[in-house]
Amino acid sequence: MSLPRTPSFRLDGRRALVTGGSRGIGLGCAMACAEAGAHVVIAARSADQVAQTVTEMTQAGFSVEGHPLDVIDLDAMRQYFADHGPFDVVVNSAGLARHSPAIDATPEDFDAVVSINLRAAYFLAQEAAKGMKNGGSIIQISSQMGHVGGIDRSVYCGTKHGIEGFTKAMAIEWGPRNIRINTICPTFIRTPLTEGTFNNPERVAWIKSKIKLDRIGEIEDIMGAVVFLASDASGLVTGTSILVDGGWTAG
């Protein structure tokens, strides 16, 4: 009898692009790929933040480089892929949130959120797929709000639901090329950008009442899902989402 063996979770010899990879969830994604053996390329708007992150990761012994990029600028994004690609793994963690009651949302806020969360995410995936001549894995950092609604989050929810939709369609089209595309959908994650939320005891109580595991998410909670979707361990997984939400969307 031939015993089955677990496909590798390693990413040795692969190149992984992480957008928004200089801080928060994006930094966790970059570190997850680096720890699994990938050469990581970090892209983010702040050149200083990118340089600092690259320095710290290099000093820690990881293979990494970084170059500033604003994913909203589609011409710059295409040039970025031409200059630094191709990539075996692309993780898109760039995003924006401007929350308000639906009745108060402005066209300016709508356009700003859609331009990065939906438009840039779409064309980033498109550009990534163009370079994946031998297959690859594209991972969109979406949100639990791509599966449910949320108070004061109508625009944000709309963009994340949109990501879930085009991910399924792209998976159907690109499957024959062995390009897998999936989403990771976190709940509220503690990062420097969300500390304001977690400084509000009432808001924390509400969040914990929705998370069945009764704790706030940490960046480390995302990292295993990234490695899984980037690696051969998820070789038959495409067009779907991993909900890292502590049970929020279970009911």
Q: What is the pLDDT of residue 242?
A: 98
What are 214-233's pLDDT values in tens digits?
999 999 999 999 999 999 99
pTM assigned to the model: 0.96
Q: Which of 156, 208, 210, 212 is catalytic?
A: 156
Per-residue 3-state assignment (H helix, E strand, C coil) for the chain: CCCCCCCCCCCCCCEEEEECCCCHHHHHHHHHHHHCCCEEEEEECCHHHHHHHHHHHHHCCCCEEEEECCCCCHHHHHHHHHHHCCCCEEEECCCCCCCECHHHCCHHHHHHHHHHHHHHHHHHHHHHHHHCCCCEEEEEECCHHHCCCCCCEHHHHHHHHHHHHHHHHHHHHHHHHCEEEEEEEECCEECHHHHHHHCCHHHHHHHHHHCCCCCCEECHHHHHHHHHHHCHHHCCCCCCEEEECCCHHHC
Q: Parse the chain into domains and list their residue ranges.
A: 15-189+218-243
Q: Which two tokens stand for residue 33?
A: 């790929």
Q: What is the pLDDT of residue 251?
A: 85
Q: What is the pLDDT of residue 1?
A: 80
Q: What is the pLDDT of residue 227?
A: 98
Residue 196 has pLDDT above 80, yes or no: no
How far apart are alpha carbons 92 and 158 in whole angstroms?
Answer: 18
Q: Which of 160, 168, 208, 212 is catalytic?
A: 160
Does residue 160 have an active-site annotation? yes
Residue 193 has pLDDT above 80, yes or no: no
**Topology annotation, domain 15-189+218-243:** Rossmann fold (3.40.50)
Burial class (CB in 10 A: 0-12, 13-18, 19+), 50: buried
Sheet bearing 136-141, strands edge to edge: 64-68, 39-44, 15-19, 89-92, 136-141, 179-186, 241-244
| Of 54-58, 95-99, 158-162, minimum mean pLDDT range | 95-99
Does residue 208 have an active-site annotation? no
